[in-house]
Structure 1
Amino acid sequence: MRRAMSRRMFVTSVAVTPLIDGAAARAGATGDWLHTQSPAFSLYGRVSEKTLVQMARDLEDFDGLLRALHGVDTGPIGRPLPIYLTPRQFDLRRVRPGLVNVLGFYSASVGDVFAVMTTEGGEDQGRWVLFHEYTHHFMKQHAPAAYPSWLVEGYAEYFMTARFKPDVVELGVPSSRIAWLRGAVWSPFDEIVSRKAVAGKRSDITAFYAQSWLLTHYMLSDPERLSRLTRYATAVAGGGDPVALLPEAVGAPFADLERILKRYMTALPGRRIPRPPSGALQLTVAPMPASADDLLLENQRLKMGVPPAERPEVLAMIRERAARYPGDRLAELTLARAENDFGERAKAQALLRGRIAADPRDVEAIQMLGWSYMLQARADRAQAPRLLNEARDWFGKGFAIDPDNALLLFDYAISRRGEPGYPNDNAVNVLLRAQQLAPQVAAFRMAAADALMRRDRFDEAAAMVEPVFNDPHAGPERIQAKQRFEQAIARRRPTEAPTEGDNGAPER
């Protein structure tokens, strides 16, 4: 269970100072990790330069495909999605211990928004996993809604096998799921459609993904079915029963659905569309400091949260590894994160002040220092007003450098909780802006919904949490979001218009 006082609880800064330590790189103290940046992605890879560059190009092509198909205008993309590419499944467990037989995962949690993938199963398999996870990220960014779980996963499965040819893109091509569908006993479709989360026995999870993929494929392959699917998704997003509404959308009762889909599977029509133009990417690959070998993935683990029982061992490990790299930015920020969350907070603050002295525009260090003072304020009520003012001062400095930093906006807004009159217009708009910048983060949605309800804006609050309560990957927030939705619907009244001229900038 997450604990607010013991970990970094929010998405990483939109604009983060590169983790490459300039002095170390110039001295040749580099490790196995490489980094490259494209418009929509920030890729870190312990893979070859050729593989890293090709993955970046493939991802940009895939982003262009999704934008073209969904009518998303080109333009400002926002924070590039960090992706960590490793050659071994073992490395995934450095971020999420306990993972077994997983080739990658996407995390949009209160700690950070990022993905970790392995190429151990081959580059094609790694590419499919990347495409699957990025589809989730894209839909949450550009079309958030309370889609049924089967459609969330079926949609990602459908697009992940996109094949890029010189002039066309092939969609709906056979996936690895078809082998399972031809040889296994299918689960009843009413069970598949009713599922709210991806959990259970491995055989149940496999059935869920495979049958959801085929059902989605079927619904997307015909214009009339696609139209009915759109109406179905809209109705479910508005609170409708995904099971009761499906027969009308499919045009057949549940009793006939397996037979219909097995017949459809024998032909399985694909789709060929003109390939969207690729941008002229000029990618620069830079070596990362040697500290990345020891700490880059561990830093991501800290952002996801460390259970209390594991913290002493993790803190000792981080301290020992960071000591190998005195003056290194990645090492000092990772150590500061661990010390701040479950070590010596004063040591964390000293490290962060040192990083800011070295680079006054280091937004990540500035944000972490402000957050550290917020945690200190919670532990020392007598000094809380002074410490919270100190925190807001740092958030303001960070905002002056990066005004579209979702994390700074969120931190600032929640620092106002407990004050008389919270939330005022500015706090509401700051939370709404943070959520707009990072809509994948359930904590941002929940905080914005809470603020809206406090201002009697119940319809807006209900719409804010809808995408969370059907998310198959959501954790405890899924239940909380459903409860908040029901509370908002029960209490809704005429909405209030936002105050003119209040654009979501923190008040200093």
Structure 2
Amino acid sequence: MRRWFAVLCLFLFEFVATPAQADWRIAETTHFVVYSNLPEPKLRRYAERLEKFDKALRIARGVKETPLGKAGRVTVYMLDDRSDVSDLMGNRYIAGAYMPRAGASVAFVPESSSEESGNSLALSGEMVLFHEYAHHFMFTTWPDAALPSWVVEGWAEFNATAKFQKDGALLFGSAPNYRAQGLLTGNPLPIERILGGAAGKLSGTQLEALYGRGWALVHYLTFESSRKGQFGAYLNAITQDRKTPEQAAAVFGDLRALHRELQHFISKPRINGYSIRAELLSIPPVAIRPLREGEAAILPVRFRSERGVGPKTAPDVYADAKKVASRYPDDPWVQRVLAETAYDAKDYPGALAAADRAIAADGTLVEAHCYRAMTLMAMAVEAKDEKKESWTEIRRTIARANRLDTDDPRPLVLYFRSYLAQRAVPPQVARDGLYRAYELAPQDRGLRMEAATMLVASGKLAEARELLLVLTYDPHASGMGEAAAKLIDTIDAQLKSAPADAHAPAATAVEDASPK
């Protein structure tokens, strides 16, 4: 059911391959769930480095650790090499992908390593994931910051090149050597357009320049003493003063002078950085286990389903899922994946049966309960079923999922949508729940738009505007960003005539839908 979510992709022009391993394992940390066929020692080291990377980002930016539920973690699928990632994504220039979803954010990255290849200009799988996780960290840490495309991609590139030192410290600030061609062979993107442009309006070579020049700008404005405070002033002008990126660029003064300074910076043989000491990067132990036979067998189907399907691809994915599921009728994860693929293929009886088998095998699977509720909802809508008991059962199923993990945004979203599907006005508890879901998963663009629309309907115009503004500058929001901009124009017109209460309602859990 992933097809409507936007994707953040890292475009590259290099390829490195490594041999495949045999056995699949899962490694779990505070912020990550990693699926890989690496040997256990290598997987443990990889997962530890990811968790230490997150901690280093928090230390470097002064971000406090907050409790994170299981649904808030990023699931990482490590494929054998970059060609596997690009084949899965259907684009030979994609070296890694991050999909920001409520309760199910996922990244696809290659195992291949520039260190192993001996090519210092190549991109390692770790760099890909650091880039993609930097996106996730930015969106969840500063959810209301409206950031132009060069900031989003430049900051991700800045963090992608973080390097662990022999003493365990993590060094930030290294140059992205894999961007050398775009940085050193001319500039197809003028600085005026970088500071005010959107990635969706750029050609392939210009997009490559945006990534490289974005990194250079973030690095230079961070470390250059003569430019101290300008980066923050630029961002504040956009997020607080409601200026356009072009207007905000005035804080940099003469942009041609900035361009010349940037050219000089790019040509320097050595650049500054900063290091987070090893003793500051202590983390909890990593839990690793081998996948069950059924879990491993269904993985190829999971990759395709998680990547996203449409009307043309869903039936084939479902057919492959049925082949695996017939061999593992009692494996809860196999049946959960079968339920998802059946739902996407609109085989609702098949989806319901699979969800019920998954729940019977493991009643703690939140997603199985969610798919059961979604399927019952789809069947009720299709049959134009308006019976009270049908919708009560749907909401009971959602409430069970909510009780299993109150920090999982998906049951909260489903509870709100159940009223829309029923063509009923969502009660306050459902509206509160949707806003709470947004707070739990601000990285999900679709959920952000849905929450903003709900706030507009509730008269919370200023709060809705804040949520929407982020989408207008998001280089990956595409048509959603344009829709957000139009809605902001409508909000601004209404605010001028009658300012509304901008405070969002307090959030609560889903109430049990049992008959009173």
CA RMSD for the aligned pairs? 2.7
The answer as to whether partners of 1:47 and 1:87 remain within 8 angstroms in 2 is no
Report the counterpart of residue 20 of structure 1 in structure 2: none
Q: Is the Cα–Cα contact under 8 Å of residues 9 and 303 in structure 1 kept in the other structure?
A: no
2:42 aligned residue = 51
2:205 to 199, 203, 206: 203
Report what 1:324 is aligned to: 327
> Displacement of 1:217 after TM fit?
1.2
Distance 1:242 1:192 in 2: 10
Q: What is the correspondence of 1:15-26 to structure 2 with a 5 Å cutoff?
A: none
- Per-residue CA shift, 1:409-450, capped at 9, x if unaligned? 111111122778834332221111101111110121111111
**Equivalent AA in structure 2 for residue 450 of structure 1:** T
Single out whichever of 153-162 and 197-206 deviates more from structure 2: 197-206
Partner SS state of residue 381, structure 1: coil
Matches within 5 A, 1:463-474: 463-474=466-477
* Contact 2:148–2:198, Cα closer than 8 Å, also in 1: yes
Counterpart amino acid of residue 56 in structure 1:
A
Give the match for residue 271 of structure 2.
Answer: 269
Letter of the 1:156 counterpart:
A
Matching residue within 302, 311, 316 for 2:305? 302
Corresponding residue for 2:511? 506
Partner of 2:73: 80
Distance 1:10 1:407 in 2: 14
Tell me how far 1:484 sits from its aligned partner. 2.5
Separation (CA, whole Å) in 1 of partners of 2:101 and 2:364: 26
Q: Relative to structure 1, is the Cα distance of residues 31 and 373 closer, same or farther in structure 2, using a 3 angstrom cutoff? A: farther
How many residues end up aligned between the 2 structures? 481
Letter in 2 for 1:495: D
**Residues 1:33 and 2:24 aligned together:** yes
Give the deviation of 1:305 after TM superposition.
3.3
Identify which range, 366-375 or 473-482, moves more after superposition: 473-482
Report if the CA contact (8 A) 1:367-1:394 is conserved: yes
Would the aligned equivalents of 1:296 and 1:330 in 2 still touch at CA under 8 Å? no
Tell me the distance in 2 between the aligned counterparts of 1:437 and 1:396.
17
Does residue 441 of structure 2 align to residue 438 of structure 1? yes
CA distance in 2, matches of 1:65, 1:457: 37
Shift of 1:243: 2.3
Structure 2 residue 227 is matched with structure 1 residue 225: yes
Which one of 494, 503, 507 corresponds to residue 500 of structure 2?
494
Distance 1:368 1:31, change over 3 A: farther
- Decide which moves more: 308-317 or 390-399: 308-317
Query: Residue type of the partner of 1:324?
Result: R
Structure 2 residue aligned with 1:173: 174
- What does residue range 42-191 of structure 1 map to in structure 2 within 5 Å? 42-78=33-69, 79-93=72-86, 95-96=88-89, 98-109=90-101, 112-122=104-114, 125-144=124-143, 145-165=145-165, 166=167, 168-176=169-177, 177-191=179-193
Q: What letter matches 2:76 in structure 1?
A: I
TM-score by length of 1: 0.87
Any idea what the Cα deviations from partners look like across 1:99-119, whole Å, max 9, x if unmatched?
Answer: 213321111147941101002
Distance 1:31 1:291, change over 3 A: farther
Is the contact made by 1:445 and 1:465 (CA closer than 8 Å) also made in structure 2?
yes
Give how far 1:42 is off.
0.8
The answer to whether the Cα contact below 8 Å between 1:430 and 1:506 also exists between their aligned partners in 2 is: no
Instruction: Please state how far the C-alpha of 1:505 moved relative to its aligned partner.
Output: 3.7
Secondary structure of the 1:83 match is strand
| Equivalent residue number for residue 11 of structure 2 | none
Q: What does residue 374 of structure 2 align with?
A: 371
Please give the secondary structure, in 2, of the residue aligned with 1:388: helix
What SS is found at the alignment partner of 2:319? Answer: helix
- The two structures have a TM-score, normalised by structure 2, of 0.85
Change (3 A) 1:93 1:279: same
Answer whether contact 1:8 1:111 (CA < 8 A) is retained. no
| Partner residue in 2 for 1:18 | none
Q: Displacement of 1:301 after TM fit?
A: 2.9
Corresponding residue for residue 218 of structure 2: 216
Structure 2 Cα separation of the partners of residues 205 and 497 of structure 1: 38
Gaps (5+ residues) in structure 1? 1-5, 12-29
In 2, Cα distance between equivalents of 1:328 and 1:285:
19
Equivalent position of 1:258 in the other structure: 259
Q: Distance in 2 between matches of 1:384 and 1:7?
A: 29
Kindly indicate whether structure 1 or structure 2 has the higher relative contact order, using CA contacts under 8 Å at least 6 residues apart: 1
Cα deviation per residue 1:479-499 (whole Å; 9 max; x = unaligned)?
222223222222232306566
Deviation at 1:200, TM superposition (A): 4.6
1:47 Cα offset (Å): 2.1
Structure 1 residues 114 and 230, CA gap change in structure 2 (3 angstroms): same
Report matched runs for 1:302-451 at 5 Å: 302-383=305-386, 385-417=388-420, 422-451=425-454
Q: Structure 1 CA distance, aligned partners of 2:505 and 2:334?
A: 44
Shift of 1:184: 3.2
Code of the residue aligned with 2:85 in structure 1: it is L
Q: Deviations over 1:124-179 (max 9, x none)?
A: 71111111111110010111211011111111111111123326432222221245
Mapped contact 2:409–2:438 kept (Cα < 8 A)? yes
Q: 1:499, 1:77 → 2: CA distance?
A: 22
Which residue number in structure 2 is paired with residue 17 of structure 1? none
Look up the match of 2:14: none
- Please give the alpha-carbon distance, in whole angstroms, between the structure 2 residues aligned to 1:300 and 1:112: 13
User: How far is 1:362 from its partner?
Assistant: 2.3
Shift of 1:289: 2.5
Aligned residue for 2:65, secondary structure, equals coil
SS at match of 1:308: coil
> Taking structure 1 as reference, are residues 233 and 379 closer, same or farther at Cα in structure 2, changes over 3 Å only?
same
Cα distance in 1 for partners of 2:343, 2:409 equals: 21
Work out whether 1:244 is the aligned partner of 2:247.
yes
Cα distance, 1:100–1:294 mapped onto 2, change above 3 Å: farther
Question: Could you tell me whether the CA contact under 8 Å between 1:159 and 1:172 is conserved in 2?
Answer: yes
**117-126 or 340-349, which moves further after superposition?**
117-126
Letter in 2 for 1:33: W
Question: Cα offset for 1:84?
Answer: 0.9
